[in-house]
Structure 1
Amino acid sequence: MKKMIIHGGKPLQGDIWIGGAKNSTVALIPASILSRTPVTLESVPRIADVDNLMDLLSEMDVHCDFRETTLQIDPTEIKMSPLPAGKIKSLRASYYFMGALLGRFGKAVVGFPGGDDIGPRPIDQHIMGFQSLGADVRCENEQIVITAPDEGLKGAKIHLKMASVGATMNIIMASVTASGRTVIENAAKEPEIIDLATFLNNMGAKIRGAGTDTIRIDGVDRLEAKVPHTIIPDRIEAGTYISMAACIGNGIRIHNIIAEHLDAFLAKVEEMGVVIDTDEDSLFVYPAGDLRMVQVKTGTYPGFATDLQQPITPLLLTAKTGEGVIIDPIYPKRTRHVPELQKMGAPITVVNNIILVQPGSRLHGAVVHADEIRAGACLMLTGLMVDGETVINNAGNILRGYDRVEEKLRQLGADVVIRDVED
């Protein structure tokens, strides 16, 4: 267990560099086992989820070497092994091993995935996709057992009921070595899916249409990594720090971004009155003046990302006029940060799963609890901007999603420290 201690109210200034995308990384690491040769990933974030995934790879005799931001993965001596439920429950993205193992061995035995508790996130579409490819799926002793037929997986037309990022990625990984053509209709279009497809195509896969709602995959016999793959910048980390810069920044430049990935978020921030200059791969956030409330409604890409509704909340708390409204149809139960913000004096409530933010209250430090990654980020930003001491318990959740967060914040002038909590 870890806690983050913040002495807030100090204006932040300087430069910050965004790491590789967490939501790409947690799929690319499992996808690496599809290669018959060693894989090199660059711009890998230093987050706890990466450590957990490397632990899972070690269970299969896959050697990893993580130095600086480069992760080398050698799957050449991989063995098919059931993945233990204990480690699987440590992160939700472990479900990507279903598609990766199925594509590599024709079989996967994986414990039910864990991760953040932000409401129901069923994997029925993943299962439906595997079954469409010919796999048998059953549950045994709290494990999911997925088996391809003797003749192997066969391409199929798969229509997703909703544009699920996880299901799209998992089906891609399972189908790249299936015989024939697989067509995924109503596919998710997030940049992280394009990143995965680029990685696999560079190894010899034949994937077309990533980034659109129809993806076509022609199966190949073998994948081999020949060049390093650089992970795209993390748009959620970037959005979080843009919100921070507007909350309490005295001029902050944010490097290593792809601004187009943030169009919906930037539009809302600028609607509030934040002034931002955007360059080719960086942007500068000016000190904010009087801001006005906005209404935020999350949606699938290119809409406003659900993972950014909590990080934008502290910025709404600084607004002087209007009423802030946050509607999250993707995860309507993603509101567990609200009672923690109330402990800090925030005029924020939840009515019928809609978050309402009022202006005008004076916030203060408090002892709060980070129930999940983005809720923790929301509390962290609020702690940075208010006077007094804020203690965020269960801060390990923040470390699951934010690359070298303590180091980056301290470089901007923040008074923040992360400590282990004794039992």
Structure 2
Amino acid sequence: MPPHSTPRPARSWVPMRPDHPFGIQTLPYGSFTRSDGRPRTGVAIGDHILDLSAAWPALAPAEEDLFSTGSLDRFLAAGPSSWDRVRSAVTRWLSDENDEREREHVRGFLLPAAEATMLLPFTVADYVDFYASEHHAANLGMMFRPGADPLTANWKHMPIGYHGRAGTVVVSGTTITRPQGQRRTAEGAVTVGPSLRLDIEAELGFVVGVPTTLSEQVPLSAFDRHVFGVCLVNDWSARDIQAWEYVPLGPFLGKSFATSVSPWIVPLAALQEARTAPPPRSPRPVAYLDDSGEAPWGLDVRLQIGVNGTTISEPCFADMYWTAAQQLAHMTFNGASLRTGDFFASGTISGPTEQSRGSLIELTWNGREPLEIDGGRRTFLEDGDEVVITATAPGPAGTVVGLGEVRGRVAPAGGRATAPREPRHSERQG
């Protein structure tokens, strides 16, 4: 049993099917609007949303105002004691242990999820993308450095990452315009135009709540005192633009045009049953990254990647070499500070089999082995393609914790990104 195993959660009185991944064991947080256009903060429960912006002052009037702005920012900054207190209160309100009078009071703050348009739920401060899958790194090394060691000399000594573009992190459902940039042809000519090798990267994202001061390091043991929760990420990649630009300073225009995230942030408290030991490491990590004496922060999160309704891969986060706790420890070891809303992603989640690769460049082996999608043979993304990534994790007593979905459709170059057009709850899971 995982080290922080929790008892079986109470059942909810809110109508839903028994195996709903947004049951009372999950209770993810997000931001949304209704017809009045005013941002609100909510908690998903089944196919409904509890409007916390309205419910919190009414049902917990003595508590601090955490949700009136419609953003999670104030709540994230409040820290673990507030996170636990709010989760306990919401669980109590939605539990079937409440009597009918109490339920009727809470029922007034529930709305059908289908009436909501989801928003980016927090203000992204800084964005860091890591490269934590040994399988992904080795696959790309074999493609681009044949005959050499597929991993760079530093890869097994520290989590490799780069600083991304916070301003282009967008919520699920936002249209992704095909990026333009410089490309180099096989003959060596430099051309300019739309990316011809637009790709996906299926990842997990981690949302920082509690900030640190400059020069304050975050040890492995303090990970869950700073990180609030997890979401799904599609870190879109223009492989041809990236290949030409990345030497010597790494990814830039090939990655900075868009990063899509799921709108529901699942708190770490909901993922205790999913915690698992990471793969064996050799050589042993240096002291500040050595988690052999710590409670494990590997996560048994199982993803599914679909393109135009065709499932193309099913990677598992448990295969990742470096954990999020190690990534945060490394990110702050030099004294870099954290801000509320800092966001870091795991890097592409890939496993040991062809069916568990988390990007098209791996699934098609750099375009040489096309996939069957929509009745045709495909390599990279075409205009009009829609990518949907979903994920689930084990919950207490056999329940399932859902991470929802991250969705995005590719538009031709030269257009503008747009949010979802019709109000909808973008986390349908059955």
Provide the TM-score with structure 2 as the length reference: 0.24
Of Structure 1 and Structure 2, which has the larger fraction of its residues in helix? Answer: 1
